[in-house]
A and B are shown apart, each in its own frame.
Chain A
C-alpha cells in the first residue's frame, strides 16, 4: 500500500533559521500531498497541499513542491519563528483516507 516517510525529529532551530523537513512517499498513481501541523494541545490543521506534479503549496511562509521524479514533498520555510514550534505531518490521500507520516517535532528557540 501507499506510505509516507518523514525525517525523524526533533528538529531544533534558532529563530530566523531556515527549515527543511523531508518527506518522501510511495504510492500507486498520483495522490494529492498534504502537510498538516499540530500545535501543542491542539488538533491537526491543514498547512498546505499540492494536487499534481510540480505544484507548489504555500501558506504562512511555508512551501512544499510536489516532485514526482523524486517522490518527495519537502516542507521549507525561510525564517522560522518560536510560534512555529509544533509537530508537522506529511500525508497523502489513498482513496477515502489520508495516510500520514510519523510526524516531525519542530522546536524553535528564541
Chain B
C-alpha cells in the first residue's frame, strides 16, 4: 500500500515569506506527527495529532509555526515569516491505532530559506 507522502519535495523561499508543507498519512493511520531534521539540531519533534483530540504542540519552536489536520487525514504545516534558521528537512510520520508507537515516515520536504 501507499506510504506517507509529502509535498513539495523541495521548497526554496525568501526570508519573510510564508510556506505551507503538506502531509498525506497512510490510510487508516489515526496518529500524525511532524518532525524537523536540521544539521545543528538533529531530529526534533514538532507536533502530534491523534484523531479528534487537541494536538500536542509542545515541540513547535515559535508562534510562526502552526499545523492543522483536516478530516483526520491530510495535514498542513505552515511557517509564517520564514527565517534562514527554518531551513531544514520537515518530516511527517503516521502510526496506526493498533501499533501506535511505530511511526512510518514520509520522504520529507527540504526547505531552504534564502
Contact = CB atoms under 8 A, between A and B. Distances in A.
Interface of A: 32, 34, 36, 42-46, 49, 51, 89, 91, 93, 95-103
Nearest to A42: B107
A99 to B, nearest CB: 8
B95 to A, nearest CB: 10
Contact of B43 (A51, A89, A93, A95): A89
9 contacts: A34-B102, A43-B107, A93-B101, A96-B31, A96-B33, A97-B56, A98-B103, A103-B42, A103-B43
A45 B105 contact: yes
Contacts, number: 45
Grouping DSSP codes into helix (H, G, I), strand (E, B) and loop, the B interface class, with mixed when no group exceeds half, is strand
B59 interface: yes
Interface residues of B, number: 20
B91 interface: yes
A43 B106 contact: yes
Nearest to A34: B102
Nearest to A41: B107
A95 B59 CA distance: 13
A97 B45 contact: yes
B5 to A, nearest CB: 10
